[in-house]
A and B are shown apart, each in its own frame.
Chain A
Amino acid sequence: MSASTETRPAPAPARLRLPFAPRLWTLVQGLLIPTLSVFTAILVGSILILLNGRDPITAFEGLFEGAFLEPRGLLATFRNMTPLVLSGVSVAFAFKSGLFNIGAQGQLIIASVVAAWAGFSIKGLPPVLHVTLALAAAGVAGAIWGAIPGALKAYADAHEVITTIMLNYIAMQFATWLISTGSADGTIKPGPLSNPNSMDAIPRTPPILESAELPVIYTVPPNFELHIGIFIAIIATIAIWFLLYKTTFGFQLRMVGLSATAAKYAGVNVKRNMILTMAIAGMLAGLAGGIQTLGVNHGYEANQSLALGFDGITVAFLAGNNPIGVNFSAFLFGAMDAGTTRMSRTADVAKELIQVIQALILMFVAADQIIRRLYRLRAVGRGPIIRRETP
């Protein structure tokens, strides 16, 4: 990034340890932009609702009830946020090292299928061992799918954004083939992982064995189950935070993110670092896919995780790419997803409104100058949250 290093002062070196009060103020400042971004996006969403001749108050009341109040509201929020936490922390982690993981979606899909495969094909294992094995298989699958663009970037200088986009589509097509039902006259064979006894037209794998299902914490009749995935996700974010800020590898990784050249001269193996970073990011996204398969769908079916990986990008940026913060932004997104059904039912507002709001949140968080201008905020010397240096 030669042009910007010429013109822009280098990022501040090691952060000074400020006294408590200013530190608190910095924290508030840090939360201000994301909060105002969400608020503004909801405001624009309300205008869209009005344009369609519906009532925004009823709509957001419905959203709130669906996300928090109904018997399953909050639990659904927790269940929805789980994969978002993991795909969000996957994107955030890679970003810390200057890599853009648009490929969380593909990593997630491959891992979902592998988890289902491990879940239905391995028989005779005790429950704890089986589910652990299936989840580990998902993590490994995601890690491999993530390491490919890492290696392509390290050794062939292929930009990770393009390769991950391509790998997303390869993953989608491959997964679709694996579970495809074949042609009716039998000339095209069904995919190797398809369910021969499927009752409906949706292509899917056979259901996983009970021993591979994630343990359930709480059940709401008739059929809502909250599995333990949320704890796995939160623990993963803490582990990633520890890895990034308390270990040598994490330090090196962030150093590569700030300046690959400097890191190279300091003796960091940038190439190895890149591959490892993408593999870990892939593993995190893979766990998200595995948890969906083992906890929610109990198998893999077509389009089960349509946009979870892409939503991870927004979740990560809303949290300023902070691994712990990802929990909170994913909570918000999980709540929105949980509330949409109720919102569209009570206020007759199309579900896609939430997508518009989420896109606007991403836009406002990324272009914080818009928010600063709108609300007459002074710049606080802390540049945009999102700035990366491509190694």
Chain B
Amino acid sequence: MSEVQFGLAIVATINAAIRFSVPITLGSLCGILGERSGIVNIGIEGMMLMSAFTGFMTNVFLSRPEVSATLQDAPVRLTIALAVALLTGAAMGLLHGVLSIQYKIDQIISGAVLNILALGLTGYFYQREAPTLGKLPDLIRNPWPRSESVELRLADNFTFYLPHDIGRILFDKDLITYLSILLVFVLGWALYHTTWGLRTRSVGENPRAADTLGIDVYRIQYTNLALGGMLAGLAGAFLTLAAVGLFEQGMTAGRGFIALAVMIFGNWRPSGALKGSLLFGFAMALQNQLQLFGINFPHQLVGMLPYILTIVVLAGFVGRAQPPAHVGKAYEQE
């Protein structure tokens, strides 16, 4: 397959990997916040889907001709839509909290409720082909045009343009992509260097001890679920306000569960989540781009890899996943 431009294909694959990994990173940060404070969240998928939907519908609503022009202005309209998505995520997180902390229903069931509810509600209120005035623009445009770049010819069909191709990877991305990387570092730092982080971790490891020391266990858990919900909301917003720009039924397509897998894969650490989601994002990108490289391998089999890897890691065949000690169990105050 000599007509394949390997240089182009590699850049495209890396960009696709980044695009896949953004919602997964954010979703697994959501999972980490919950699990580090003792709450399992299998409802990340539902949180993402619901926020993707409300964010998108807000965008649709504000794009109607009868809405005033100040609200339709791109920055205002998209900020409102983003805020609605974040609030939806927080509300879903709090619902998970009310069900699993106040009513003490099994955290797995509560998560399942979130997922089914989101699938049902978004399907019920779904409108086909609702128009919007556009999605989030790229934050920084690639400053290095191809025409001024140096051509680096490695082979006949293997050419890079420097620094144009590097710019295509580093720039031409929207706000949420940069934000997600920033959030990884902020949370990674906060989890180990702030009072909140210490409290969160102690609640997840031993809530009884934390309670004895005067930490309000439930408050920490509710806070983290709301914050985590906002992260999942940001992931949902990424799908409908940045990456795709449209809502389709069930469009999260298992990303919430991959996020859960990545959380385990990254050993419940934000930095691990970033590495894990880039790896999984790369696997997913390859799934779509294999043909570009002229490799004829069924993409579904590549698609199985993240899940198999997660089981391998969880079972301790390679490395050892160490969940917080008290995760998944309801805590009862005395």
In the complex, the answer to whether A356 meets B117 with C-beta atoms within 8 Å is: yes
In the complex, the answer to whether B124 meets A353 with C-beta atoms within 8 Å is: yes
Give Cα A367–Cα B207 distance, bound, in whole angstroms: 23
Known: A48-B124, A165-B42, A388-B106. A352 touches B119 (CB 8 A): yes
* Among candidates B121, B323, B326, residue contacting A3 with C-beta atoms closer than 8 Å: B326
Encode contact with A along B294-313: 1 for CB under 8 Å, 0 otherwise. 00111011011001101100
In the complex, the answer to whether B314 meets A359 with C-beta atoms within 8 Å is: no
User: Interface size class for chain A?
Assistant: 35 or more
Known: A167-B307, A352-B120. A177 touches B301 (CB 8 A): yes
Q: In the complex, which residue of chain A has the Cβ closest to the Cβ of B300?
A: A177
Note all chain A residues with C-beta closer than 8 A to B314: 152, 156, 158-159, 162-163
In the complex, the answer to whether A180 meets B316 with C-beta atoms within 8 Å is: no
Give Cα A48–Cα B124 distance, bound, in whole angstroms: 9
In the complex, the answer to whether A3 meets B308 with C-beta atoms within 8 Å is: no
User: Interface size class for chain B?
Assistant: 35 or more
Note all chain B residues with C-beta closer than 8 A to A353: 120, 124
In the complex, the answer to whether A369 meets B103 with C-beta atoms within 8 Å is: yes
Cβ of B130 under 8 Å from chain A: no
Note all chain B residues with C-beta closer than 8 A to A356: 117, 120-121, 124
Cβ of A8 under 8 Å from chain B: yes
Q: In the complex, which residue of chain B has the Cβ closest to the Cβ of A357?
A: B120
Q: In the complex, which residue of chain A has the Cβ closest to the Cβ of B109?
A: A366
Note all chain A residues with C-beta closer than 8 A to B126: 350, 352
Known: A166-B310, A177-B301, A355-B119. A362 touches B113 (CB 8 A): yes
Q: In the complex, which residue of chain A has the Cβ closest to the Cβ of B113?
A: A363
Encode contact with B along A180-219: 1 for CB under 8 Å, 0 otherwise. 1001000111010000000000000000000000000000
Give the distance to chain B from A379, nearest Cβ to Cβ, in Å: 13
* Among candidates A159, A173, A174, A313, residue contacting B112 with C-beta atoms closer than 8 Å: A313
Cβ of B254 under 8 Å from chain A: yes
Main secondary structure, interface of A, reads helix
Cβ of A358 under 8 Å from chain B: yes
Give the distance to chain B from A170, nearest Cβ to Cβ, in Å: 5
In the complex, the answer to whether A359 meets B120 with C-beta atoms within 8 Å is: yes
User: Which stretch from B56-64, B67-75, B156-164, B256-264 is at the chain A interface?
Assistant: B256-264
| Residues of chain A in range 223-249 having any CB-CB distance to chain B below 8 Å | none
In the complex, the answer to whether B124 meets A317 with C-beta atoms within 8 Å is: no
* Among candidates B108, B121, B207, B304, residue contacting A174 with C-beta atoms closer than 8 Å: B304
Give Cα A359–Cα B43 distance, bound, in whole angstroms: 13
Give the distance to chain B from A158, nearest Cβ to Cβ, in Å: 4
11 new A-B pairs (CB below 8 Å) besides A367-B99, A384-B104? A52-B124, A102-B42, A159-B328, A163-B311, A163-B315, A169-B304, A170-B308, A189-B296, A317-B109, A351-B123, A359-B120
Which residues of B does A touch, CB under 8 Å? 40, 42, 99, 103-106, 108-110, 112-113, 116-117, 119-126, 207-208, 254, 257, 260-261, 264, 291, 296-298, 300-301, 303-304, 307-308, 310-311, 314-317, 323, 326, 328-332, 334
- What are 28 of the A-B contact pairs (CB < 8 Å)? A3-B208, A52-B124, A156-B314, A156-B316, A158-B311, A158-B314, A159-B328, A161-B42, A162-B310, A162-B314, A165-B260, A166-B308, A169-B254, A170-B304, A170-B307, A173-B304, A176-B300, A191-B298, A310-B112, A351-B123, A362-B112, A362-B116, A366-B103, A366-B105, A366-B106, A366-B113, A367-B103, A386-B106
